[in-house]
A and B are shown apart, each in its own frame.
Chain A
């Protein structure tokens, strides 16, 4: 029907431009907000770029260069960076520390490949990765000199604590989750009380208890060294949270599946390992990754009990020496290290969440 009584819709404006206008200037109020917020954003960006890049000193070994300049003094990272990354690890053995951290990063990347998603395969991968890490860092075999745990520090200590917590904590979490689901009342109640108590306490309290109380109530021979105790306590804390996530995953599996498996004659071990756990983990992958990310951030808390992780090393790197005034640069450097790990892991978690939603949608 040509022309006509019914009005035709207005010609569409160039797609992108129209979208932009709607998002920024849809009405007069929106327009004002855009202008004000835009001005704020621009001013922040300009100042930041100015401080961080334009007026900054990049790598002069001499601190006097920094004092003359109004921008950031990134050379402090050059001067103090190794302290932040390796702590008090012997200088000539830094390659071992670097390699060990790289191996953990590779292990984490490999864990993301669906081809490796099987309980036996993942356990083997992580035990191999973590084992290699410890051997490289500690030494004593293959001609590597011994470097005791007191000398481990900086990023490598943070990575050690993180990997140790996950490797120890995940099996504990599975055990706790299954215990809480048990039909035997004693097991069920002990697990529930344990999980709920641990979850209501601050992490710091639990680590503190591990460092201070355990030597008090446990005989000398069972105490282990302080780092080991703290990693075990941290692993228990993580396990309590992860157990609840796994339990939610198990509950989301229709009970008919367990019945079918039992009717087929499969024993408890087989039902749990082949049917229940693979599905429980797949169902709760986003929450699990979230919990792992939180754990990485929480490793920073060991600073308070006197461990020389990457946060503590930042304060040590700043110190009172000639580089003392440039604390902001060091803290930004450390923050960036965390940011890379944490943001990367979170994005991966978001990607997985989108993928499972598409698959089931």
Chain B
């Protein structure tokens, strides 16, 4: 026996066989124990439960989901909630991050200081604490009766932010989409070679077409914009942005913005000074250097770190459960509590996040590939 272990090749085989056997045994024991537990608790396996109605509601959803909806719909609602706050958070955090990063690399001393204070403040405090903090602030807003008036377009209360919203029917949306496509097509076709012309034409075209078509095809009584109005104790009309959503969004925006700010700064600092000197020697102005050399190179340098940050921020949306935002994780965990279908639901949870994960990395890698500087690496 020992002889076998003293020979490198056979030792390799023995170790691999042992590890494989151990893994299989472990998995088998998990499965058997789980099965015993399922049987003793009288829970059926399989995904049949997805058609059962849940019996419990969620407080926010962009698709139709009530306490009579089946599990499949609830899970979808949760998944969409995650994507909604995730994409909104990523977009806002990127804008904030860009601004902060530029402030940090600016030559202006005060902008530097402001940027640094922002980054250090929001980066060094855990995200969940920030989420809880903003939620506490938003829920301590005055009640709807005494809501803060935002120039008539919206109201801020402890029930959320009420904003004026477009009250467009499906037909209206279709008209707008068509007019955008038509205008872009016309711009592409007739724009000519001057750089600003296609964009200007497209913009003008979209606006003109939309206005004309909307007024032409519209029913007179239905208003185009729905304003929130106080009726009794609550607001009706407009769109309500719940504090759960806002708190999570603000926290992701600040925390993510701080990290993205550092990535942006890193990207700019990594641009080779030699290239910038060559550009200056060629007589390019500062604005031209920024536009044609500094910014494109900085963006390429930032992409890998930015990809990691985006993936991380999407996963961070799970913290919404701390304040009651019904993201995918919260819906899954409530479902596990209510239905007992632990393994199936956990599997769905993992699949959902792996899906989001690979979509983001895949998209970013595609962008990276398109932008990458061709070379011998």
Contacts and interface: CB of A to CB of B under 8 A. Distances in A.
* A–B contact, 8 Å CB criterion (strictly below): yes
Given A186-B19, A304-B321, A205 B132 contact: no
Contacts of B329: 202, 204-205, 208
Interface string A8-46: 000000000000101110100010011001101100000
Interface string B15-28: 11001100100000
A216 interface: yes
Interface in A106-134: none
A298 interface: yes
B208 interface: no
B175 interface: no
Contacts of A41: 110, 113-114
A335 B129 contact: yes
Nearest to A200: B357
Interface in B127-143: 127-129, 132-133, 136-137, 140
A204 B318 contact: yes
A194 B346 CA distance: 17
Given A298-B126, A331-B132, A190 B318 contact: no
Interface range, B side: 35 or more
A185 B129 contact: no
B164 interface: no
Interface stretch (A55-63, A69-77, A140-148, A338-346): A338-346
Among the interface residues B23, B126, B346, B354, which one has the most CB atoms of the partner chain A within 10 A? B126
Candidate in A20, A30, A183 with the most chain B CB atoms within 10 angstroms: A30
Nearest to B136: A327
A303 interface: yes
A297 B353 CA distance: 22
Nearest to B129: A311
Contact of B108 (A24, A216, A339): A24
A335 B136 CA distance: 14
B319 interface: yes
Nearest to A296: B126
Contacts of A335: 125, 129, 133
For the complex, would chain B's binding face be called helix, strand, loop or mixed by DSSP majority? helix
A314 B37 contact: no
B107 interface: yes
Interface of chain A: mostly helix, strand, loop or mixed: helix
Contacts of B31: 217
B363 interface: no
B109 interface: yes
Given A186-B19, A311-B132, A205 B33 contact: no
Interface residues on A, range: 35 or more
A339 B353 CA distance: 30
Most buried by B among A22, A200, A203: A200
Nearest to B115: A37
A103 B337 CA distance: 40
B29 to A, nearest CB: 8
Contact of B107 (A23, A185, A201, A304): A23
B63 interface: no
B19 A209 contact: no
Contacts of A346: 124
Contacts of A185: 16
A24 B20 contact: no
Contacts of B167: none
B51 interface: no
Contact of A20 (B15, B109, B114, B350): B109
Interface in B317-356: 318-319, 321-322, 329, 333, 336, 342-343, 346, 349-350, 353-354
Contacts of A318: 136
B20 A213 contact: no
A49 interface: no
B12 interface: yes
B315 interface: yes
A279 interface: no
Contacts of B124: 297, 338-339, 342-343, 346
A212 interface: yes
A288 interface: no
B277 interface: no
Contacts of B12: 183-184
A254 interface: no
Interface string B347-373: 001100110011000000000000000
Interface in A158-201: 183-187, 190, 200-201
A4 interface: no
A271 interface: no
B114 A202 contact: no
B111 interface: yes
Contacts of A291: none
Nearest to A185: B16
Given A200-B357, A205-B329, A184 B15 contact: yes
Contact of A300 (B16, B126, B336, B358): B126
Interface of B: 12, 15-16, 19-20, 23, 30-31, 33-34, 37, 107-111, 113-114, 120, 124-129, 132-133, 136-137, 140, 311, 315-316, 318-319, 321-322, 329, 333, 336, 342-343, 346, 349-350, 353-354, 357-358
Q: Give the 6 A-B CB pairs with smallest separation, nearest first.
A: A202-B315, A186-B16, A300-B126, A23-B109, A217-B30, A342-B124
6 contacts: A184-B15, A298-B126, A300-B126, A304-B321, A334-B129, A343-B120
Given A187-B16, A201-B353, A204-B329, 15 more contacts: A22-B107, A23-B107, A24-B109, A33-B108, A33-B111, A40-B114, A41-B110, A213-B342, A218-B30, A300-B126, A300-B127, A311-B132, A318-B136, A339-B125, A346-B124
